[in-house]
Amino acid sequence: MKLLVVEDEARVASFLVKGLRAHGYGVEWVSTGREALRRAADADVSLVILDLGLPDLDGLEVLESLRERGGTVPVLVLSARGRVNDRVKGLDLGADDYLAKPFAFEELLARIRANLRPRADVPPGVLRVGGITVDLLRREVTADGRTFSLSAREFALLQAFAENPRRVLSRQELLSMAWGIDFDPGTNLVDVYVGYLRRKLGEPFIETVRGAGYRLCPDRAG
């Protein structure tokens, strides 16, 4: 099993390669989009970790070209472009997962494991966590067989949770992910919208972790 790391910054690439090899993965590093397209098509590559800021091609172009060529290898985008619209675009173009820099290495490992597991076919642009499905293209949410209507901001907040299932997210992280606000505005905006989601999807759906933030509990939705 081989992971293909596509990263033009040597320091970041070295950190990834050493860390992943220490956890038992075979790893190959390439630094350009053209090299990535050439190697990602090979049968020995099990997953691609793709940076977007490449020197020759934008990572999104690489992703789009790979999917247009029929490539089905799982792609985990690892990028400093962490705003909601960046994540949506990456998923729409065929990424299987999206993790913003800076990141916790333990979370990267967990996402790699999740994307390497055998799973039912999930279309691009769809997040499926437990009994919850978030369709990013149709802007639809289903849970326990029911379809829910969400406002644009509620949908963005749910997407942030669905991309980080069972992980505790601080209010500041949620503000950044769902609102694009990278500072504390001193409001209870997150708490208010978490309340909206709970009323629509069920009170146990989002757990409050005292002093830390909130966590998605998809298996308790309904």
Tens of pLDDT, residue by residue over 78-106, are 988 878 888 888 888 888 889 988 889 99
Where along the chain do the CATH 3.40.50.2300 domains lie?
Answer: 2-116
CATH number of 126-220: 1.10.10.10
Q: How confident is the model at residue 75 (pLDDT cuts 50, 70, 90)?
A: very high
Tell whether domain 2-116 is in CATH 1.10.3720.10. Answer: no
Q: What is the tens place of the pLDDT at every residue in 114-124?
A: 888 755 555 66
% residues pLDDT > 90 (the chain): 34
Confidence of residue 219 (pLDDT cuts 50, 70, 90): low
What is the per-residue burial (b if ≥16 Cβ within 10 Å, else e) of 11-44?
Answer: eebeebbeebeeeebebebbbebebbbebbeeee
Most confidently modeled of 49-53, 127-131, 140-144, 173-177? Answer: 49-53
pLDDT at 160 over 50: yes
Q: What is the pTM of this model?
A: 0.56
pLDDT one-digit tens code per residue, 57-71 = 999 999 999 888 888
**At what angle are helices 189-201 and 152-162 packed, to 10 degrees?**
90
Residues of the chain with CATH 1.10.10.10: 126-220
pLDDT the model gives residue 122: 54
